[in-house]
Structure 1
């Protein structure tokens, strides 16, 4: 089993929601993309 499947199963067992964020590289601008990616990494 891979880490994504395990994370979703763990969230389900704990009654939590899970999400996989998706960002398009460089959108809406390279600077904004980096800001969003860094923020997501902090929350992971």
Structure 2
């Protein structure tokens, strides 16, 4: 499940980077997903 979310956010980040769509919001969501992923990896 977490890999699906990370994949979708990476795709959204790339699309936002290429087409300038909601630039700041996509970057914030990507950082949040990265933090959640790191915390999940540390706890398991």
> How would you bin the TM-score normalised by the shorter chain?
0.3 to 0.5
TM-score, length-normalised on structure 2?
0.42
Which structure's CA Rg is the greater one? 1
Q: Which protein, 1 or 2, shows the higher relative CO under an 8 Å CA cutoff with sep ≥ 6?
A: 2
Q: Which has the higher helix share?
A: 2
TM-score, length-normalised on structure 1?
0.42
